[in-house]
Amino acid sequence: KLICSCRDFLRVTRSDDTAAEITIYEGRVHKIEQKKLRLVFPETFVKNFISEMKFNVEFTFNRLTLRLQHQAVELATEHQLGDVLFPSGAAKSSFSLPKLRSVKTKYIMFNHHLENNPEQLKAVQHIVAGSSQPAPYVVFGPPGTGKTVTLVEAINQILKLNSSAHILACAPTNSACDVLCELLLSSCGSDQVYRMYAQSRDPASVSTPLLKHCNIDEKQDCFSLPKPEDLMPFGVIVTTLYTAGRMVMIGVPVNHFSHVFVDEAGQGLESETVIAIAGLLSPQEGQLVLAGDPKQLGPIVHSPIASKHQFGMSLVERLMDFNGLYKTSNPRFVTTLQRNYRSHEAILKIPNEEFYDGKLQVFADKEEREAFCSWDGLSMKGFPVIFHGVMGKDEREQNSPSFFNVTEINILFKYLKQLLDDQEKKGLPTISAEDIGIIAPYRKQAEKIRLGLKDDRELSQKLDLTHLKVGSVEEFQGQEKKIIMISTVRSTSSYVKMDRDFNTGFLSNDKRFNVAITRAKSLLIVVGNPLILRSHPVWKKFIDYCLAMKGYTGFPLKDTNENDLVLMMASLRILDTEC
């Protein structure tokens, strides 16, 4: 199975070429289909091509993303972005906060729901006023607190107050950019917003509404690189951090954008975030706004050398952890959103205490968050959290480094079938595939779950499985579901050290726990080995919480005293010093 993307390059030589200097042709991946790659070659290759001719093919490493990061670092020095990237507090001496919710003035909130949220209102006011300039303004948005809608409101207010403003709105991923763009299109107006896609993006993966406002070349059925004059009239341009680097290449001037907004900033490498700033934002006149949550999963870094030198730390995490302007929660530089509009209080309790100092407040719709509180499948009515303890077995197939646990899959399917059987009974809502998310920390477990769903006649008949999302924690970041089911997989203590060494599984990273638990709105079901998980402090607190609230079921952990637990954990080698 080939893993490549559009715009990747490859080198091709004829198998029967025995010349002293072998001719090498360079091609490019144009389109990826289920079992085929469509390639583009120069005319010299096409002229010499004969059907049935055999070739040696060498796929190359695409260095574009690294080159863009190196270019950004050089441009940051050239354009003197020190006060933006390493702020010292030399902010504006004076500024005035606009009265955005005063009906008697022209400052009226576009999103009226924000008028009753003091933190969101404060964030918008400070962003519009530019109170942190030249330092970045940070919107610290824990799960479900509405950081993206806060950014959209601020963008709307800036465009309303300043007709000459031009805004670059970015995020690390295409999915986050698409969500941001859809919100902007619904509030700013279609003539103001432009979505710029990378040339490698497949148009088939983009929704029809967004295709009407982007750089699509309909004749070629691909995205083309726009000219500067095509981009500059728009009030807001939405693109990924990497694609923003293309604007420097095509000649968009450094003083064109008055503001750069980065959503989900905690997921981007610092050097990746700099791509959207260096060469595009004036350090004297521009304003950088970062919205994210350093307590959730950050950038993915595979190199242990890069990790050692903190290359995997995002810009927003560095500022909040090491810069005094942000550590003290100075409102001129940072606002922490505190109202959670997503989850039931029982689901939110442990993440709130462990990661957010207990400051998150439950503001989710009462009817929606309590939708499953009367379900017969709950261990305790009114407590929509289940931890099902199981002594399963984590296995690997030959030549596969990833793990799966069949016992846990069977238990998840049992709960899923019971939910479907009980829907619309005793006040329970109707359940669709879009309401359910299944999280597993290993690729093989997710694959086995998908195959099991497809092969289970009862489930495949009752649910449109194409809309039931199964994936890793990373794939669920930024998303929410009414029902979240989690398979932790790990049941062998000797593999715990491997997880920590390679940053896999739930026990290697507290942030992975935080993201997984906080995706659920109304019902959370976790299946796992309690003895293995209790070796980790956060998981121990969560399991003990479920025990105390009578939300625990399965393996009879509540009847086991601490001495017996120590003996069992030692027999499973959980207490080995190497683990």
Domains located in the chain, CATH noted: 9-62 (no CATH), 65-90+118-337 (3.40.50.300), 345-571 (3.40.50.300)
> Over the stretch 53-96, which tens digit does the pLDDT of each residue have?
888 888 877 788 889 999 999 999 999 999 999 998 765 656 77
pLDDT range class, residue 494, cuts 50, 70, 90: low
pLDDT range class, residue 362, cuts 50, 70, 90: very high
For residues 517 and 477, is the Cβ–Cβ distance under 8 A? no
**pLDDT of 576:** 41
Going along 148-286, which residue ranges are E strands? 167-171, 193-195, 216-217, 222-223, 236-240, 259-262
CB atoms within 10 A of CB 4: 14
**pLDDT of 164:** 94
Range scoring the smallest mean pLDDT among 110-124, 348-362, 488-502? 488-502
For 150, 175, 190, 193, 532, the CA distances from 181, given in Å and listed in that order, are 14, 10, 10, 8, 43
pLDDT range class, residue 503, cuts 50, 70, 90: low
**pLDDT of 432:** 95
Higher pLDDT, 190 or 251: 251
Tokens of 133: 């300039």
| Alpha-helix runs per DSSP H in 323-360 | 324-327, 345-355
H or E segment and range at residue 127: helix 118-129
Range scoring the smallest mean pLDDT among 43-47, 242-246, 430-434? 43-47
Rounded to an integer, the average pLDDT of 226-236 is 95
> Over the stretch 111-127, which tens digit does the pLDDT of each residue have?
888 989 999 999 999 99
Rounded to an integer, the average pLDDT of 485-505 is 75
Report the distance separating Cα 283 and Cα 252, nearest Å.
Answer: 16
Q: What is the dihedral of CA 508, 509, 513, 518, to 10 degrees?
A: -160
**Which phi and psi (to 5°) does residue 327 adopt?**
-65, -30
Q: Which residues pair with residue 259 across a beta bridge?
A: 167, 287
Rounded to an integer, the average pLDDT of 254-280 is 96
Q: What is the dihedral of CA 156, 162, 164, 167, to 10 degrees?
A: -30
Range scoring the smallest mean pLDDT among 99-108, 175-184, 283-292? 99-108
Report the distance separating Cα 524 and Cα 518, nearest Å.
Answer: 9
**pLDDT of 77:** 95
**pLDDT of 575:** 42
pLDDT range class, residue 577, cuts 50, 70, 90: very low
Using the predicted structure, report yes or no on whether residue 399 has a pLDDT greater than 80. Answer: no
SS3 content of the chain, % helix, strand, coil (to 5): 40, 15, 45
**pLDDT of 572:** 46
Using the predicted structure, report yes or no on whether residue 101 has a pLDDT greater than 80. Answer: no
**pLDDT of 190:** 82
Range scoring the smallest mean pLDDT among 15-19, 327-331, 399-403? 399-403
Higher pLDDT, 564 or 413: 413
Three-state DSSP class for 382? coil
Using the predicted structure, report yes or no on whether residue 309 has a pLDDT greater than 60. Answer: yes
For 400, 525, 532, 578, the CA distances from 395, given in Å and listed in that order, are 10, 22, 15, 21
Higher pLDDT, 15 or 382: 382
**pLDDT of 9:** 79
CB atoms within 10 A of CB 391: 13
Full-model pTM: 0.83
pLDDT range class, residue 257, cuts 50, 70, 90: very high
Report the distance separating Cα 223 and Cα 571, nearest Å.
Answer: 58
Q: Round the average pLDDT of the chain to a whole number and report it.
A: 88
Q: Give the burial class of 22: count Cβ atoms within 10 A of its Cβ; 0-12 exposed, 13-18 middle, 19 or more buried.
A: exposed
Going along 41-118, which residue ranges are E strands? 55-59
